[in-house]
Structure formats: structure tokens, C-alpha cells
């Protein structure tokens, strides 16, 4: 029953994201609205982590299975994609490198910020 309640919390937040997508005139997917709502709710303490923890872990564990339909869709539209293979591959590689670089920089900045905070707390003590 606990997993059902947690899943319903996640579904409800996703539903709110769907509503926002229809109401707001921005080109933002409903899933992004849902993730932002969940993040803000967790960060603000409105949603307790225990209310979604186990189901969230389960959904992350089965995430590779969720990519199977997308892979099948790519294979079924191979005829359309074949002429665009080189440009799509180049864009994919460039974006992949850019995302990795930005993620690395942000991670380093967060780690440095965390280390500075720990040092300041140690100096106060």
C-alpha cells in the first residue's frame, strides 16, 4: 500500500505538470513542469522525501526499460533518418560533449562550495 501511495503522489505531481503545460503558453514539456514541482516541493519540505523515496528508486531502476519504445520507434523510422544520419550524429556528439562539460563544471563548483562551507564550519568550532 505504501508504494501505491508514493506512486499516486508522483502521478498527481505529473498531472499538475500536464495542467500547467496546457495553461501556460510556454514550449516546456509537462514532465519538466512535474520535475520542477517535485524538486521545489522536496526542497521546501512541502513533500517529504519518505513520501516518494522507494517508488522513486524503483522508477529509476526500471528507467532503461522505458527507453525500449523510443529505440523501436527509431528503428521503425530508419528510412526517414538514414539521409540525416551524419548531421544528427554530429549534433548528438557536440551536444553530448557540451552537456558533459557543463555538468562537470557545475559539479566541481558545487563540490568546491560544499568544501568551503565545511571549512567555515570547522573554523567556527
Residue pair 94/87 in contact by the 8 Å Cβ criterion: no
DSSP collapsed to 3 states, the chain: CHHHHHHHHHHHHHHHHHHHHHHCCCCCCHHHHHHHHHHHHHHHCCCCHHHCHHHHHHHHHCHHHHCHHHHHHHHHCHHHHHHHHHHHHHHHHHHHHHHHHHHHHHHHHHHHHHHHHHHHHHHHC
Q: What percent of the chain has pLDDT over 70?
A: 94
121 shares a domain with 62: no
pLDDT, one tens digit per residue, over 5-31 is 999 999 999 999 999 999 999 999 999
Residues 34 and 57 placed together within one structural domain of the fold: yes
Please check the confidence at residue 83 and state whether its pLDDT lies above 70. Answer: yes
Residue 120 has pLDDT above 80, yes or no: no
Structural domains in the chain (count): 2
Given pLDDT bands bounded at 50, 70 and 90, which one contains residue 77?
A: confident
In this predicted structure, the answer to whether residue 118 has a pLDDT above a threshold of 90 is: no
The candidate with the shortest Cα–Cα distance to 6, out of 46, 41, 69, 58, is 58
The verdict on 86 and 62 lying in the same domain is no
32 contacts 17 by C-beta, under 8 angstroms: yes
Which of 67, 90, 108 lies at the terminal end of a domain, its last residue?
67
In this structure, are 54 and 85 located in the same domain?
A: no
* Residue 30 CA, distance from chain mean position: 12
Q: Are residues 3 and 41 in the same domain?
A: yes
Per-residue confidence (pLDDT) for residue 15, from 0 to 100: 97
Residue 60 shares a structural domain with residue 85: no
- Asked if 63 and 80 sit in the same domain, the reply is no
pLDDT tens-digit profile of 20-60?
Answer: 999 999 999 999 999 999 999 999 999 999 999 999 999 99
Residues 61, 3 share a domain: yes
Residues 16 and 62 in one domain: yes
Predicted confidence band at 81 (pLDDT cuts at 50, 70, 90)?
Answer: confident
The whole domain housing 102 covers: 76-125
Residue 6 neighbours by CB distance under 10 Å = 20
Same domain, 53 and 12: yes
Report pTM. Answer: 0.62
Amino acid at each position: 500500500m505504501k508504494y501505491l501511495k508514493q506512486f499516486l503522489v508522483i502521478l498527481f505531481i505529473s498531472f499538475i505538470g500536464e495542467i500547467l503545460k496546457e495553461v501556460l503558453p510556454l514550449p516546456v514539456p509537462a514532465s519538466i513542469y512535474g520535475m520542477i514541482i517535485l524538486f521545489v516541493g522536496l526542497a521546501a519540505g512541502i513533500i517529504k522525501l519518505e513520501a516518494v523515496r522507494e517508488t522513486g528508486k524503483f522508477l529509476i531502476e526500471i528507467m532503461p526499460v522505458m527507453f525500449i519504445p523510443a529505440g523501436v520507434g527509431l528503428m521503425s523510422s530508419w528510412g526517414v533518418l538514414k539521409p540525416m544520419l551524419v548531421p544528427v550524429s554530429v549534433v548528438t556528439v557536440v551536444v553530448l560533449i557540451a552537456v558533459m562539460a557543463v555538468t562537470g563544471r557545475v559539479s566541481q563548483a558545487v563540490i568546491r562550495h560544499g568544501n568551503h562551507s565545511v571549512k567555515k564550519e570547522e573554523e567556527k568550532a
